[in-house]
Amino acid sequence: MFPQSTSEEAWSHFTYELQALLKRAQMNNTAKIELSICKKVQLCNSSESSRTDSKAL
């Protein structure tokens, strides 16, 4: 799902934010959290590869 070229630093930062989102998910609306995660994934994909990946989502 994620390209091999993703740097360790960027990946660890993404995982850290993802864990924070999952913790907040217990208190917040799940749909809002999923939308936020989806946006982060799209930003990740578009910066690492072509724009066609984010269009597919």
Hey, where are the domains in the chain? Answer: 29-57
Tell me what pLDDT residue 39 has. 81
- pLDDT, one tens digit for every residue, the chain (57 residues): 555 556 888 888 888 988 888 887 766 666 676 778 878 888 777 766 554 544 555
The CA–CA distances, whole Å, from 29 to 21, 23, 35 equal 11, 12, 10
Tell me what pLDDT residue 3 has. 56
Buried b / exposed e across 23-55, counting CB within 10 Å, b at 16+? Answer: eeeeeeeeeebeebeeeebeebbeeeeeeeebe
**pTM exceeds 0.75, yes or no:** no
Tell me what pLDDT residue 22 has. 82
Amino acid occupying residue 35: L
Helix extents (H) in 1-57: 8-25, 30-48, 52-56
Tell me what pLDDT residue 31 has. 65
Amino acid occupying residue 16: Y
